[in-house]
Amino acid sequence: MKMIRAIVRPEKAEDVVDALAEAGFVALTKMDVVGRGKQKGIHVGSVYYDELPKVMILMVTEDENVEKVMQIITQAAFTGNIGDGKIFVSPVDEAYTIRTGSKGL
Mean pLDDT of 28-38: 89
Q: CA angle 8-9-15, nearest 5°?
A: 80
Is the pLDDT confidence value at 55 over 90? yes
- Determine which helix (DSSP H) or strand (DSSP E) holds 6, and give its type and residue range: strand 2-8
Predicted confidence at residue 46, as pLDDT, reads: 74
Fold (CATH) for 2-91: Alpha-Beta Plaits (3.30.70)
Q: What residue segments make up the domains of the chain, in order of their start?
A: 2-91
* pTM, rounded to two decimals: 0.86
Q: Which residue has the higher pLDDT, 45 or 68?
A: 68
